[in-house]
Chains A and B, each alone.
Chain A
Amino acid sequence: MSILVLADLHEGQLAGATAHVVAAAQAIGGDIDVLVAGEGVQAAAEAAAKLDGVSKVRVADNAVYAHQLAEPMGALLVELADGYTHVLASASTTGKNVLPRLAALKDVSQLSDVIAVDSADTFKRPIYAGNAIATVKSDDALKVITVRSTGFDAVGTSGSATIETVDVVVDNSQSSFVKEELAQSDRPELGGAKVVISGGRGMGNGENFKLLDGIADKLGAAIGASRAAVDAGFVPNDMQVGQTGKIVAPDLYIAVGISGAIQHLAGMKDSKVIVAINKDDEAPIFQVADYGLVGDLFEILPELESKL
């Protein structure tokens, strides 16, 4: 078997998710190549070459691949896919945007959000917002798969793969990049953080989310939010944890003022340890929390911050 992994980039650097996708590729077994495509991605390629288990990093560095727009990225993958049995990408917004184009142009199905590998052709994936787990078998000659990174532990970084240049350049006159507004934060990325602290509607307003800052600083945590908090306008949508937001599985997840709607639980229930802080002792979040603390978050948060 021979597997091509599309590297995920974040502002031109290799995103953490890629190491999880390589782990999924290792579970399938076979030679693993990583494709790093973008503009000015030499550093990302070098980082990818260090991932354990990777034999070769293929680098397509060209302005047409800047911002990894779907049309040129799909066309590039179609050019490179021959000879591979599997093409994998992270189930990030980039992977989800690009990979179905490859699948359609190769006339094969795609398996989305794979969380476990049973064999080289059989995989597990969540359906119905994670309320059921499907085992699916693909008889397509080329398996096109997006991988949910929380399903696989990241590979190490002691590898030394060879790096080769890909000189395929495609045309793109259909789509162009206009602008990007990315949340600027010194905190770890929500999807990859070891600790996540999230606020819900119980926070009351956006200003009160500052109460989470000090705790997040002390724990090195990313800050998230429930959909209710996003819909109420407290915080931007890129902080949303849940079925319609980010899926996270940190070592420690602290839910503050979050009741625990199914759609939120779908995004965090695979966390190793869950702490819930809520004034309502009947809140459904306590049914999944390892440690529950009933009380007023406006008293508990400052106390927690000072005692950590």
Chain B
Amino acid sequence: MKVLVAVKRVIDYNVKIRVKADHSDVDLTNVKMAMNPFCEIAVEEAVRLKEKGVATEVVAVTVGPKAAQEQLRTALALGADRAIHIETDERAESLAVAKLLAKVVEEEQPGLVVLGKQAIDTDNNQTGQMLAALTGLPQGTFASEVAVDGDKVNVTREIDGGLQTIALTLPAIVTTDLRLNEPRYAKLPDIMKAKKKPLDVKTPADYGIEVASKVSLLKVESPAERKGGVKVASVDELIDKLKNEAKVL
């Protein structure tokens, strides 16, 4: 079974973001970029499926600027066999990415597609679900456990209030939640080897897909800052303040 894994280049999760002075967007100049953490979990899951003998080939795909090839090389270093880069400098929204991935699914015919549940920049949490809808494949989102069993996959999902397990027919789309696995670090020899692994470059036009969206970003602002309050000296003072000042007790 072939596993397709989608990754996204985003701001490194440790970086504190800055809003541009003209409020047009978040400032990404000279900011450290990395693979989206949920995508790292997706790559790890795909590689583990290969190590278990469930997957025969792992193909990594991304949609993004030329620099996003760094993240594909990371996926290759972590164990993906080959990569597809759909290059665009336009801001590709979830729907456009899902349409492009649907074309890749049509071409590659994977048994399983694994994606992160959301990217930490736009926080959309849409692409996997949209891909499932467009390809007509079932979806297991927010996965904390994925168990392939013959022509089915059981996915345990993190839902509000607990866990839900569903069974899906294969091929299927899975999106990863944080507790699915702990991604490994790439080792230096693997990083070297990854440079020689095949990486195909395509454009959205090759697939006949328009990246432009009907949603426009009008303004980006910093959220209202919350100011620190006072320190209280004792439990009695705390209770008094909550009762008489904040009036929440």
Which positions in A face B, CB cutoff 8 Å?
Answer: 10, 67, 69-71, 74, 92-94, 96-105, 107-113, 122, 126-140, 173-183, 189, 191, 195, 219, 236-238, 244, 246, 251-252, 262, 269, 272-275, 281, 286-294, 300, 303-304, 307-308
Closest B residue to A128 using CB positions: B17
Q: How far does the alpha carbon of A138 sit from the alpha carbon of B236 in the complex, in Å?
A: 52
Would you give 25 A-B contacts (Cβ < 8 Å), ordered by A? A67-B164, A71-B139, A96-B125, A96-B142, A100-B127, A104-B95, A104-B98, A104-B131, A107-B95, A131-B16, A131-B222, A132-B26, A134-B217, A136-B215, A137-B215, A173-B169, A174-B138, A177-B166, A237-B179, A246-B160, A252-B242, A291-B229, A291-B232, A291-B246, A293-B232
Residues 146-187 of B, flagged 1 when their CB comes within 8 A of A and 0 if not, give: 000000001001111111111111001000001100000000
Quick check: A137 and B248 within 8 Å, CB to CB? no
Q: Which of A180, A272, A275 contacts B238 (CB 8 A)?
A: A275
Which residue of A93, A107, A281 contacts B158 across the interface (Cβ within 8 Å)? Answer: A93
Contact assessment for A132 and B230 in the assembled complex, using a CB-CB cutoff below 8 Å: no
With known contacts A135-B218, A136-B218, A292–B226 Cβ distance under 8 A: no
B53 contacts partner chain A, Cβ-Cβ < 8 Å? no
CB distance A273 to B248 under 8 Å?
Answer: yes
The answer to whether A109 and B248 have CB atoms under 8 Å apart is no
Evaluate contact between B223 and A100: CB separation under 8 angstroms: no
Is B167 a contact partner of A178 (Cβ separation < 8 A)? yes
Given contacts A140-B215, A288-B228, contact A131 B95 (CB under 8 A): no
A134 touches B129 (CB 8 A): no
Is B52's beta carbon under 8 Å from chain A?
no
> Are A104 and B166 neighbours in the complex by a CB distance under 8 Å?
no
Residues of A within 8 A of B94 (CB): 100, 109-110
Contact A133 B223, CB 8 Å, known A70-B141, A237-B179: yes
B residues at A contact (CB < 8 Å): 11, 16-17, 19, 26, 93-95, 98, 120-127, 129-134, 137-142, 144, 154, 157-169, 172, 178-179, 213-223, 226, 228-232, 234-236, 238-239, 241-242, 246, 248-249
* Cα separation A294 to B230 with both chains bound (whole Å): 11
Contact A129 B95 (CB under 8 A): no
A105 and B133: CB pair below 8 A?
Answer: yes
Interface class of chain A by DSSP = mixed
Across-interface contacts of B213 in A (CB, < 8 A): 109
Known pairs A93-B159, A304-B235. 5 more at Cβ < 8 A?
Answer: A174-B168, A175-B138, A183-B162, A252-B242, A288-B226
Q: CB-nearest residue of chain A relative to B15?
A: A128
Contact pick for B220, options A122, A127, A191, CB 8 Å: A127
CA–CA, A289 to B227, complex, Å? 8
Also in contact, A183 and B138, with CB within 8 A (given A100-B133, A127-B123, A132-B220): no
> Which of A10, A101, A128 is close to B161, meaning CB atoms less than 8 Å apart?
A10
Chain B residues near A102 (CB, 8 Å)?
133
A107 to B121, CA, bound (A): 23
**Contact yes or no, B238 A130, CB < 8 A:** no
Report the separation of the CA atoms of residues A107 and B98 in the bound assembly, to the nearest whole angstrom. 11
A294 to B144, CA, bound (A): 37
Most B CB contacts (10 A, CB to CB) among A100, A108, A137 go to A100
Contacts of B179 in A (CB 8 A): 237
B residues near A138, Cβ cutoff 8 Å: 214-215
Q: How far is the CA of A173 from the CA of B132 in the complex (A)?
A: 14
How far does the alpha carbon of A288 sit from the alpha carbon of B125 in the complex, in Å? 28
Q: Is the CB of A238 within 8 A of B160?
A: yes
B217–A136 CB distance below 8 A: yes
Query: What is the bound-complex CA distance between A288 and B223, given in angstroms?
Result: 13
Considering the complex of A and B, which 6 residue pairs feature the smallest CB-CB distances, nearest first?
Answer: A100-B129, A290-B229, A104-B130, A174-B138, A182-B162, A101-B133
C-alpha gap A308/B178 in the complex (Å): 37
Given the complex of chains A and B, what is the CA–CA distance between A300 and B234 in angstroms?
9
Q: Which residues of A contact B217 (CB under 8 A)?
A: 134-136
The interface residues of chain B lying within 8 Å CB-to-CB of A173 are 169
